[in-house]
Chains A and B, each alone.
Chain A
Amino acid sequence: MATLSIKGVRKSFGSLEVLKNIDIELEDGGFLVLLGPSGCGKSTLLSIIAGLEPSSGGDVTIGERNVNNVHPKDRNIAMVFQSYALYPTMSVRRNIGFGLEMRKMPTPERDAAVKKAADLLQIEHLLERKPGQLSGGQRQRVAMGRAIVRDPDLFLFDEPLSNLDAKLRVEMRTEIKRLHDRLGTTIVYVTHDQIEAMTLGTKVAVMRNGVIQQFADPQIIYEQPANVFVAAFIGSPTTNFLNGTLEATNGLLSLRHGGGSLDLGGLQQDVGAFVGRPVVAGIRPETLQVAETGVSGTVEVVEPTGPDTMVILNVGGQMLTARLGSRDRPKLGQAMTLSVDARAVNLFDPDSGDRI
């Protein structure tokens, strides 16, 4: 187990800068999720931590040791790849024990360690098979077995669940969380799936174009997104953005928008300087409820998903998605009013996109 410190890390491919001044501090036993869309630089950052890719600047420290010039094999890390990267010519037993074989661990001890890891992941019956004879979920377990058998300082996961079907993905997600709770090893986990990020991470770094947009606890990221990008990226369906002008009448804040006025009493932000100026209100679909007063509009689309009903409302030309109960089934074109919990609303500066 070890802490991870990343300071001012940059990476350029020719004139293309893919990582810009990345700063991250992760506590011992923490679970850091690097989250972002494709091409945001999260996998490159993971490769730099692993030592597979040299950085163009900055420092990576694992534990107390600066590892900038340390070979991957000497960093005492283990990595699970998106494609699992199991050695196709070797049996599962040899795949799991390969790292120990390379470190010249005697065979009896190695076999015992492989057996222990296989027990933990319930894959003892697969030890003599080749990777080609395994299903996706089994390969995933073998890849994890190969990582945990070495008892490393740091685990690196590069989108390990993205090749699995939806059901297996949920199972393996739980498995990884259980493994982290049991082993307590520091983990860096790359994903573009915000559900994985929210469920697994103790810290989440949301990335875009090589820049960390926000680095915080998952709950903070959900409740107080640093900017419009983070607000839009986290949550499904995505956050509603309602453009309007911030007004204050007798000390009470409200948002004047195309479809009327939205009461912002109870807003958690200090937005005094923006009164009278245009702002963007970020409203989570799940914070909207059918009510007598609030935001009014006409129903454009109704999408029942089973447990919920997604309703898209046209509010003065702006679309607002609400996640309502399964029994709420409004008719198309019907007028509807939704209440907004102002404590869950975030206001953003329309020019910079940052949270006010």
Chain B
Amino acid sequence: MAQTRSSSKLLWDVVAYVIMIGLAIICVFPIIWTFLTSIKVDEDIVTREMVYFPTRFTFDNYVKLWFQSSYPTLVANSLIVTGLTVLICLLTGAIASYSFSRFNFPGRTQLMLGYLVVRMFPAVLMIIPLFIVMRQVGLLDSTVGLAIAYTSFLLPLFVWMLKGFFDSAPKELESAARIDGSTRIGAMLRIVVPIARNGLVATCVFVAIAAWNEYLFALMLTTSQGSRTWPVGLQLMVGEFQLPWGMLAAGGMISILPVVILFAIVQRVMVAGITAGAVKG
């Protein structure tokens, strides 16, 4: 009996490992392939026979991309747009989610649901109205305009996520702070925000990654080099008569660097934040 159980457990372990290794390969292979492509010479990229490993290593693609194209401007624009989006979400979303978490005002549930409704429609549906609005207020083709557009669909995510973290901070702490001499906003800033710090960081990282990688809105709402972000810029490098695979792959590798660095820095805080929010109380 015991033997049957142990062999059945072994079988399940093997199956589980096979599935997980398979999934890991599916996830990691494109990144490895992109990296390998980025360090190949052109002759190894466009070939009759598939060349898996570069015959010659080169960083030419990176050098060309960085020094002979507008890629640094694209990255800078992306950084500005991402930073602005996170800042707007942080300033408005933190207060909004605190209100949703703490106050019982008329229409509270409806407003929360309204925030979700925005997420239910495909992004394409929002682009044309947003395009018209941005053009009318003169924010078309600007980093600020793009950041505001991103906020329109990232703020609901921010508010919903952060509300969970605020909910898990005991209300009695604020009551204690208010009796100790704080105002409501003071109690929020001095007591609740430090407690929900991990959640705040986790939420900001989610928003930052979404804004950093966004393509569709950036394509529609930016037209010039001055405000274009890296996903659009990379795509526009594909011309009618040229397909610079090496440079595109190098651009892809550079663009995931900030995300990887961000994750590496905030990984522990973020995991703690996510689990703290998941397990209430």
Contact = CB atoms under 8 A, between A and B. Distances in A.
Interface of A: 47, 50-52, 71-73, 75, 77-79, 81-83, 85, 87-89, 98-99, 102-103, 146, 150
A81 B172 contact: yes
Contacts of B186: 102
B123 interface: no
Contacts of B177: 87, 98
A153 to B, nearest CB: 12
Interface in B185-229: 186, 191, 194-195, 197
B175 interface: yes
B176 interface: yes
A103 B181 contact: yes
A79 B176 contact: yes
A311 to B, nearest CB: 44
A52 B181 CA distance: 12
What are the 7 tightest A-B residue pairs by CB atom distance, in nearest-first order?
Answer: A102-B181, A99-B180, A85-B176, A85-B172, A89-B194, A73-B181, A72-B178
Interface string B163-189: 000000010110111111111001000
Given A85-B170, A85-B173, A88-B195, A77 B180 contact: no
A50 B177 CA distance: 12
Contacts of A77: 179
Nearest to B186: A102
A81 B183 CA distance: 19
A81 B176 contact: yes
Given A50-B179, A102-B181, 15 more contacts: A51-B178, A71-B178, A72-B175, A73-B179, A73-B180, A75-B179, A81-B176, A85-B173, A87-B177, A88-B173, A88-B195, A89-B194, A102-B180, A102-B182, A102-B186
A103 B175 CA distance: 16
Contacts of A73: 178-183
B180 A83 contact: no
A85 B181 contact: no
A354 B197 CA distance: 55
11 contacts: A72-B175, A73-B180, A73-B181, A78-B179, A81-B172, A85-B172, A87-B173, A89-B197, A99-B181, A102-B180, A150-B180
